[in-house]
């Protein structure tokens, strides 16, 4: 019976999962990425950790069907090349070829991390049983991927789905991408914290002002806004309602253009939960045609920490034809 490895690499940590043939997660592991040591260091670390995981389970490379890996940034999944990743400082790294070589020829498949996350939720998480799954990750930024009947949607250059960088009319905050008013300046952990800070700086009353006096205002995070909401803070509720409405506009466009059966919302900022999702749902329904309204289901992600590794392994199994 073939086993599969899923790897989820980020700027800080690499998460590894060993899965059986039915994509049950048998074993997990986590290592610091150490990206500053260069590409070869990281790929060698991945190969040796894979060997460790196999050994711990009493397996060897001969039991491995394929390895899948989710990379931050842009990826060419056909050639298995990490095109560019700001977090890892990787440019045009032939990951599939290099890592496959270190593993003695085991097939390696890579893709963008949000695509792998969505693939995991579609295969084994909140999207299970639906044909058309839209995955949205609300974290430092916001991103999306679409899985149709088990296949990721790519578009030209594998670049589809940059839901963070769509123009929101009337908004003007500078985005990390250089444009202004992108959805991710609002509907993200960064956006929630920024909007709360700006309203405090304009003199609005909030328990956040007591918790973060003076200069400490800079330390406010999205999690603090949720905490303030739970303490009954009106400003926090208003910020999350505002962000929820903007997120609804983004989802209305995505639902209308892609027509998913289910929208799975994950990522760290999704921890705000119904504080954010309740006003989002309320705003969303009047913005989409009845035929979508009656069809689409909005669900929180079910396997947040595991979606990346499980999705990577499932993707590798599918690509390897196993």
* Helix residue ranges per DSSP H, the chain: 39-56, 95-102, 113-124, 189-201, 207-211, 222-230, 234-258, 274-284, 290-293, 304-319
Report in angstroms how near the CB of residue 248 gets to a second copy at its nearest.
9
Q: What does residue 315 show for φ and ψ, rounded to 5 degrees?
A: -60, -45
Residue 160 burial by CB count (10 A; 0-12/13-18/19+): exposed, middle or buried?
middle
**Nearest CB to a second copy, comparing residues 214 and 294:** 294
**Nearest CB to a second copy, comparing residues 77 and 100:** 77
**Nearest CB to a second copy, comparing residues 197 and 246:** 246
User: CA 241: distance to chain centroid?
Assistant: 22
**Nearest CB to a second copy, comparing residues 17 and 77:** 77
> Strand 74-76 vs strand 81-85: parallel, antiparallel, or unpaired?
antiparallel
Report in angstroms how near the CB of residue 320 gets to a second copy at its nearest.
22
Report in angstroms how near the CB of residue 18 gets to a second copy at its nearest.
34
**Nearest CB to a second copy, comparing residues 167 and 273:** 167
Q: What is the CA radius of gyration of the chain?
A: 20
Report in angstroms how near the CB of residue 260 gets to a second copy at its nearest.
6
**DSSP string covering 16-44:** EEEE-TT--EEEEEEEE--GGG-HHHHHH
**Nearest CB to a second copy, comparing residues 143 and 236:** 143
Residue 291 burial by CB count (10 A; 0-12/13-18/19+): exposed, middle or buried?
exposed
> Strand 74-76 vs strand 64-71: parallel, antiparallel, or unpaired?
unpaired
Report in angstroms how near the CB of residue 146 gets to a second copy at its nearest.
8
Sheet hosting strand 81-85, strand order edge to edge: 74-76, 81-85, 90-93
Name the residue among 119, 68, 63, 65 with its Cα closest to residue 96.
Answer: 68
**Nearest CB to a second copy, comparing residues 103 and 243:** 243
> Strand 132-138 vs strand 25-32: parallel, antiparallel, or unpaired?
unpaired
Q: How far apart are CA 231 and CA 94, in angstroms?
A: 50
List C-alpha distances in Å: 211 to 199, 221, 225, 226, 268. 15, 12, 11, 13, 22
130 and 122 in contact (C-beta within 8 Å)? yes
- Which residues contribute to the site for a second copy (CB under 8 A)? 74, 131-132, 144, 148, 153-163, 165-170, 177-179, 249, 252-254, 256-261, 286-292, 295-296
Report in angstroms how near the CB of residue 163 gets to a second copy at its nearest.
7
Report in angstroms how near the CB of residue 181 gets to a second copy at its nearest.
9
**Nearest CB to a second copy, comparing residues 131 and 216:** 131
**Nearest CB to a second copy, comparing residues 18 and 168:** 168
Report in angstroms how near the CB of residue 287 gets to a second copy at its nearest.
5
Report in angstroms how near the CB of residue 99 gets to a second copy at its nearest.
25
């Amino acid at each position: 019976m073939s086993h599969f490895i899923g790897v989820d690499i980020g700027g800080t940590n690499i998460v590894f999962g060993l899965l059986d043939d039915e994509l049950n997660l048998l074993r997990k592991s986590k290592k610091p990425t150490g990206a500053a040591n260069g590409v070869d260091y990281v790929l060698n670390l991945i190969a040796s950790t894979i060997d460790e995981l196999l050994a711990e389970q009493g397996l060897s490379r001969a039991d491995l069907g394929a390895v899948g890996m989710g990379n931050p940034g842009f990826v060419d999944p056909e050639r298995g090349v990490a095109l560019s990743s700001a977090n890892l400082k990787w440019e045009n790294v032939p990951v599939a070829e290099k890592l496959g070589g270190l593993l003695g020829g085991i097939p390696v498949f890579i893709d963008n991390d949000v695509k792998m996350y969505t693939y995991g939720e579609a295969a084994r998480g909140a999207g299970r049983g639906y044909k058309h799954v839209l995955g949205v990750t609300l974290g430092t930024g916001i991103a999306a991927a679409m899985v149709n009947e088990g296949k990721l949607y790519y578009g030209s250059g594998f670049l589809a789905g940059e839901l963070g960088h769509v123009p929101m009319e009337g908004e003007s905050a500078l985005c990390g991408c250089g444009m202004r008013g992108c959805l991710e300046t609002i509907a993200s952990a960064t956006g929630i914290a920024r909007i709360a800070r700006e309203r405090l700086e304009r003199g609005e009353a909030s328990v956040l002002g007591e918790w973060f006096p003076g200069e400490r205002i800079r330390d406010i995070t999205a999690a603090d806004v949720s905490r303030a909401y739970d303490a009954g803070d009106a400003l926090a509720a208003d910020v999350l309602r505002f962000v929820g409405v903007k997120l609804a506009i983004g989802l209305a466009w995505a639902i209308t253009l892609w027509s998913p059966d289910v929208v799975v919302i994950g990522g760290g900022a999704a921890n705000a939960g119904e504080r954010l999702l309740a006003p989002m749902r309320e705003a969303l329904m009047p913005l989409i045609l009845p035929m979508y309204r009656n069809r689409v289901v909005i669900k929180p992600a079910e396997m947040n920490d595991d979606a990346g590794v499980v999705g990577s392994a499932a993707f590798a199994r599918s690509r390897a034809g196993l």
